[in-house]
Amino acid sequence: MIFECGPQGADKKVCERFARQIKPDIQIISVTLDNKPNLITNCGKVAAQLIKQGCDRILIVWDLYPAWREKKQKPCRKEDRQAIQNTLANAGVTSANVYLICIEPELEEWFLYDLTALSSVLSTTAHPVTIRKSPNGGTNPKKTLTKLFEENTGKKYNDLIHADIIAKNISKFEKIAKKCPSFERFVQKIT
């Protein structure tokens, strides 16, 4: 898997965890390229190296709206996809087993579809939380999670800490896949 995050990034941690839960015998090599511009520029070279190492399939994973996004800048999945495909072609990568996974709008969207997992993470023994209605993440699910964390724990959501904790509590993959096309694609390409 090739990611747009750093070595300890939430996308890497969560996708690796889910991949192992979905396909326990999977062997994963992950490469992190720090941000979307680096991913677009370097994913072809990295994919070529992974193919030489014998990887059966490669998933290139990025957020449509990365956290560092410019407010004025409206991303386009089609443009991202074309730029990545050009980079792959320039590196000579033509394998049919290279898959592009654009998480729309960002990783935290996946978490908003498992209310049981969110409730569990936000709860304490003294303060049980039950989220009954799916929060609308809109174009900024990270902001939605931050609001939920602040309201229920008094702390801000931190993707480097909380994303993997939420992922550990998720078990309803089919439910998320039915409602979230990017998660469904991720599951399909893992299996």
- pLDDT tens, residue by residue, 16-70: 999 999 999 999 999 999 999 999 999 999 999 999 999 999 999 999 987 655 6
Cα separation, 84 vs 42, whole angstroms: 9
Write down the pLDDT at residue 65: 86
Q: How far is CA 64 from the centre of its chain?
A: 10
> Per residue in 122-137, pLDDT tens?
999 999 999 988 887 6
At 171, the amino acid letter reads S
- pTM, entire model: 0.94
Residue for token pair 């720090």: 34
Domain span at 133 = 2-190
Domains in the chain, number: 1
Q: How far is CA 8 from the centre of its chain?
A: 13
> Per residue in 91-109, pLDDT tens?
999 999 999 999 999 999 9
